[in-house]
Amino acid sequence: MFKPQLMVKVREIKIKYISYVVDNMAKNPGHTVLRFTPYHCELNPIELAWAMVKTYVKQNNTTFKLDDVKKLQNTAIDRVTSENWQHFIEHVKTEENKMTEVDRNMDEIIDNLEPFVLTITGETSDSSDF
């Protein structure tokens, strides 16, 4: 086999052998690990939590000393409540639903488009021809 064929084969079987320690730890007590798109704030609740933490630090930072910023950060993290998490998760679900609806609408628009043909020639025209 050549490299492209080998890479196809690797992609086919790789998923069977990927295992993360944290996933296995979560499975033991019956939890499920969901993986989100990294750094995508609309689809990842942790990004909303970090935004809350950073906002708190920014609004309360008066000395700009590293030790003070660390204290503010720890206080901000402690202020993230389970109610905040519920809100973040609901926000993500709402955004996901919006994106799904946009996707569905785009699919419908594309499915209903009439086929068209563009004929490209070497000729040009100016706006007075219209």
From first to last of its 130 residues, what are the pLDDT tens digits of the chain?
788 888 899 888 887 877 788 888 888 888 878 777 777 788 889 999 999 999 999 999 999 999 999 999 999 999 999 999 999 999 999 998 998 899 889 888 888 888 777 788 877 666 555 5
DSSP code at position 43? G
pLDDT score at 82: 95
**Any idea of the CA torsion for 77, 82, 85, 91, to the nearest 10 degrees?**
-140
Sole residue written with tokens 């309360």: 60
Which has the closest alpha carbon to 36: 89, 100, 87? 89
Burial of 92 (0-12, 13-18, 19+ CB in 10 A): buried
What's the predicted TM-score (pTM) here? 0.59
pLDDT score at 21: 85
